[in-house]
Amino acid sequence: MRIVIAGGHGQIALRLERLLSARGDEVAGIIRRAEQSEDLRAAGAEPVVCDLESASLEEVAAHLEGADAAVFAAGAGPGSGVDRKNTVDRGAAVLFADAAARAGVRRHVVVSSMGADPEHPGDDVFDAYLRAKGEADAYVRAHRGLDWTILRPGMLTSDAGTGLVRLEAATGRGPIPRDDVAAVLAELVDTPATAGLTLELISGSAPVSVAVKSVAGN
């Protein structure tokens, strides 16, 4: 498979790139800064420099041409303000979804956040983040040109992955190592039977492959 990942230099994305390239997939990661390119090459991914906050639909679609799947793993990140929550966590997600559909890439996996909700109340930056993610998720779910799966991890940690997770429509809150998020994403990309599902993810007792097959109905 050829898989294009938005937010290719993120902590989850770099882990995902290593997993996908190790299993023989062709991986491209969209990054904002050219100096991040070597990190992607070290992870086995092709760097594609493209600023999703300013790029056109046609430009992003061109980067997706020929792909079998797209993964949106971009985010404004900690320390960013409300404006960038709207331009990245919402705006870039919408643009990437539209570009995937334009390029004919139906398989679309989104890294969202537990608690994402377009109606989330509050005035803090994190409140704006949850609203932006919720609005992006709602847009993707309404997109008829995509076979989408939305993944909402719990509290992300840098602990070593265990390979044991809980993946359900609603899990309740809990931590999850980024290693295990990447492992679940790699399985989801390759499991189109999960299309149409919004899933929460925390650490648990099921091996990743078993957890994904379970929600896929296999």
Which are the catalytic amino acids? 129
Residue 149 β-bridge partners: 109, 197
Q: What is the 8-class DSSP label of residue 90?
A: I
Rounded Cα distance between 202 and 217, Å, is: 19
Q: b/e map of 63-99 (b: 16 or more CB within 10 Å)?
A: bbeebebbbbbbbbeeebebebbbbbbbbbbbbbbbb
Tell me the sheet residues that pair with 202. 166
Maximum C-alpha span of the chain? 45
Is residue 212 classed exposed, middle or buried when 0-12, 13-18 and 19+ CB atoms within 10 A define those classes?
buried
Collapsing DSSP states into helix, strand and coil, what is residue 166? strand
The secondary structure element, H or E, covering residue 6 is strand 2-6
Decide if 134 contacts 116 (C-beta within 8 A). yes
| Residue owning tokens 């092709």 | 46
- Do the Cβ atoms of 190 and 205 come closer than 8 Å? no
